[in-house]
Structure 1
Amino acid sequence: MQNTRLNNLFNVLTRRLAEWILNPWRRISILIISFLLGFFLGSAVATTAGQTAEWDIVVAGTLVLATEIASRIFYNRSVLARQVFWVQAINYLKVGLTYSLFLEAFKLGS
């Protein structure tokens, strides 16, 4: 690639973001936010899909596909590759989503 201003700006921003994420407290807080975002998404998807009974099967299939892809990304890697930040964030998002859907099912009594 050519050494342009935009390329230099992108490299500096990614390097600073990587250094920012190395702080353990920031890393943990972002992973907790990822879990809570998954919890919110699960609750939002369950309530919006439940309003119209026509989309239940399509939404359920999409959620199963998304969680299976996330599981494949996380569990098909070595132990060291699982510690990559974005892989952990996707896994926490998946766990929050699954947990929220279980709680919604318990609320409905099904």
Structure 2
Amino acid sequence: MQNTRLNTLFTDLGQLISVELRNPWRRLSVLAIALLFGIYVGISFASVAGQRAYLDVVVAAFAVTFSEIVSWIHYRNRGNVRKTLWGEALNFFKMGLTYGLFVIAFMLGS
């Protein structure tokens, strides 16, 4: 790849973000944002699927498939995905999504 100004800009920006997110408090805030966004998406999925009754099975299949793929990526023995920020953030998003779906299920009494 050629070393263009745009390529240099994105490389430097990625390195700057990586350095900034090594701080434990910033890392914790990214994980909290991922968890809260997962809860929001879970509640949104449930409300959209509730309005259109024919989407229930599709949304449930999507949520289960997404959850299983993320669990497989995060908890497998190979690799160090568990130690990376994006791996932890994806797992926290999955936990928030599952929690949001459980909250809606308990509110509806089903």
TM-score, normalisation: structure 1: 0.94
How far residue 6 of structure 1 moved from its aligned partner, in angstroms, is: 1.3
Structure 1 residue runs without a partner (length 5+) = none
Q: What is the aligned-residue RMSD (CA, Å)?
A: 1.3
User: Identical aligned pairs, as a percentage?
Assistant: 47
Q: 2:108 matched to which residue of 1?
A: 108
Shift in Å, 1:69: 0.9
5 Å matches for 1:47-86?
47-78=47-78, 80-86=80-86
The 2-side partners of 1:77 and 1:15 are apart by: 28
Residue 81 and residue 56 in structure 1: after superposition, are their counterparts in 2 closer, same or farther (change >3 A)?
Answer: closer
| Equivalent in the alignment of 1:43 | 43
Corresponding position of 1:20:
20
Aligned position for 1:95: 95
The superposition leaves residues 22-58 of structure 1 with CA deviations (integer Å, 9 ceiling, x where unpaired) of: 1111110010000000000000110110011111111
**Equivalent AA in structure 1 for residue 60 of structure 2:** A
Unaligned regions of 5+ residues in structure 2, if any?
none
Give 4+ residue runs of structure 1 displaced > 2 Å after superposition: 77-81
How many aligned residue pairs are there? 110
Give the structure-2-normalised TM-score: 0.94
Deviation at 1:2, TM superposition (A): 1.6
